[in-house]
Structure 1
Amino acid sequence: MTEQALLHLDGITKRFGRVTVAKDLTLSVRPGEALGIVGPNGAGKSSLFAMISGDLRPDSGAVWFQGRKVTDVPPHARTRAGIGRTYQVPRPFEHLTVFENVLVCAHQGAALKGRQAWTHAMEVLERTGLAELANTPAGRLALLQRKRLEVARALGTGPRLLLLDEVAGGLTEPEVLELVEVVKQLHAEGLGIVWIEHVVHALVEAVGRMVCLAGGDVIADGEPMGVLADPKVRELYLGGGPETGLADEEDRTDEEGA
């Protein structure tokens, strides 16, 4: 295992019948690093997140977090350990207010109580631009606000590593830019971030490193524009030159699971 890694995936493999979503995959994320992940639908991106968060167990290999092997640790314990995640489709408690949604996460994920939990939840709402909607029922939120709440709920658990799963999908261009600013600020505060996204230009703006997955394996890893210019990435994911591929991806919404 890489000593300084916040997260380290050591040769993980996962198959569903004849479909391999991770093939002896090894990947590390440093503390405070912002990593973007791209790849075609079916490349194993969301399955990768599920193995990191504990919703899915790899067939072989190991998941390490903060120097501890967590391969057999259940999801709630990984959350308490500092792994927070969002989902492609927001999952708020629609009958609760925005504030109450985050407060639940502060109680259950960060193990905060009383005034400390209340203060933490309000701080998270300020950081994500939701403070003015604190008393609004989550079921009445527009899509951008739901995406922000999804991020806020993950932050409510007090993570050291934040997993963002296609949080820009379905947003307008101005809304994407707003979300990018939120992510950039979180990164500036020292939070480790791994962001799966089809809206490629959002990743280019927000992360310092990019990985492309295909066939359950890493086919490119490095500086974002360098990865996007990689011949294998252009062939398997972008489907042409970097400029054409970027334009195509900006218009794509995530209608399928990855």
Structure 2
Amino acid sequence: MRTRRRRHNSKPGQNLDSFLDILTNTVGVLMFISLFVTLIAVEADSIVKTPLASETKKTARFFEIRENKVTYLNDQQVGEAMDTVVGNLPSCNKPDFDLDTESASYLSGMQFYKSCVQNRANRLINFRTQTEFYDVTMVDARSFTMRYDPIPNKLGENPEEFNLADSKFNQVLAELDPQKDYLAFIVRPDSFSSFRAAREQAWGQNFQVGWEPHKTEAPIVFGSGGRAIGVQ
């Protein structure tokens, strides 16, 4: 009797390991995206929404909001104090290079010139002034960079205070011109609610507003090029 041979399947079996790996990774990514979107939706109410900055020819008037209180930097006053110092600096004239560089008159003139330049530099480096809320010091005389340090125990006004008709905030706004000036707020992380209130008040008086967040411990430093907070 002829025996029947069992046929062996020569086709390789399908290996689904790679497919399962891809499927698992895809599901994981989708879950991560879903979680991220959920977190964004939950935190949406706490995000300060502001439009993109736009160009303006108006002058920025800077305010800081920290501990939910508004203070005016008054960099205009600081600039005027600096102009006074610069205007009173001595004139330093280099000796005429046509003179004999080995002559006594040239050497004496060069020594006087170097002393004069050093005197100018020292007076700039040691520049100090004070506004109502800030001690202002020169930190780099080459770029006229100045740091604004809050005066202890002078924290400005909270929303209840700056909403009053005779508040310092309203007094400053009364001295400014909405056609020429706009308000630039430097906002600390703990003070977004006060920023919103101050912004609403500024808008109510027809001022344009710009702002930027600032870390809690980061100092306020202005250079000769000013500070770029555009109208938003």
**Is the shorter-chain TM-score for this pair beyond 0.5, marking a shared fold?**
no
Q: Under a length normalisation based on structure 1, what TM-score does the superposition of the two structures give?
A: 0.24
Q: Under a length normalisation based on structure 2, what TM-score does the superposition of the two structures give?
A: 0.26
Larger % of strand: which? 1
